[in-house]
């Protein structure tokens, strides 16, 4: 039951954070072993969803610090994300996919805490209060991390646009 309810969530969080499909599969297994071994520590008064995501977030950031995942390449966006629903206009769809590829790649350049805050807010669409609980950080810190992450990704989009313009010029 626990696996049915949370395996997809944890795997996706790991994949969005690490950008590597194989590593995320390994990490999901390790997180579940940790969840099984820590169930007795769960405080019944706490939201279970937040508890399991806090545990996953701590595990992913610890793993990142130990292995320095930033040195590894993120999987190409196309490899596992097929074209999702969006614009029907092919030209706009190309541009939309181009932005997705850029932000997916750009996530790598964000520091682990900023990256996690952006993933939880903008990909998983969680409330700031829930993110603050998951990340065990003050609300203001979370909001500022999200803002910082968005600005960095916006800069990546700007750079990509400039590159595209240069290519069109030649």
Partner 1 sequence: MKCTHIEPYLSPYLEKELRPEKMSQIENHIKTCPDCAELLSNIKEARAALAGIPEIEISRSLKKTLYKIPRKRFKLSFDFLFKPALQPILAAATVMITVITLYSMNPEREQINKTINQHIHMGYSKIERLYARAESLTNTLAGYKESVLFSIKNIDFFWEKND
Nearer to partner 1, 73 or 140 (CB): 140
Residue given tokens 């590159």 in the structure block: 163
Binding of partner 1 at residue 135 (CB under 8 A)? no
Q: Which of residues 73-132 bind partner 1 (CB under 8 A)?
A: 80-81, 84, 86, 96, 99-100, 102-104, 106, 118, 122-123, 125
Binding of partner 1 at residue 162 (CB under 8 A)? no
Residues of the shown chain interacting with partner 1 in the complex, contacts defined by CB under 8 A? 3, 7-8, 11-12, 15-16, 25, 28-29, 32-33, 36-37, 80-81, 84, 86, 96, 99-100, 102-104, 106, 118, 122-123, 125, 143-144, 146-147, 150-151, 153-158
């Amino acid at each position: 039951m626990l696996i049915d309810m949370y395996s997809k969530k944890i795997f996706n969080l790991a994949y969005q954070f690490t950008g590597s499909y194989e590593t995320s599969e390994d990490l999901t297994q390790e997180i579940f072993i940790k969840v099984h071994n820590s169930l007795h520590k769960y405080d019944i008064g706490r939201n279970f969803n937040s508890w399991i995501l806090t545990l996953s977030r701590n595990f992913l950031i610890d793993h990142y610090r130990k292995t320095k995942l930033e040195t590894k390449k993120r999987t190409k966006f196309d490899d596992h994300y097929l074209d999702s629903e969006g614009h029907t206009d092919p030209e706009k769809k190309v541009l939309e996919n181009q932005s997705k590829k850029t932000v997916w790649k750009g996530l790598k350049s964000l520091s682990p805490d900023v990256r996690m805050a952006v993933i939880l807010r903008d990909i998983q669409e969680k409330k700031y209060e829930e993110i603050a609980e998951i990340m065990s950080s003050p609300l203001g810190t979370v909001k500022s991390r999200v803002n910082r992450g968005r600005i960095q990704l916006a800069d990546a989009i700007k750079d990509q646009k400039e590159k595209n313009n240069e290519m069109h010029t030649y």
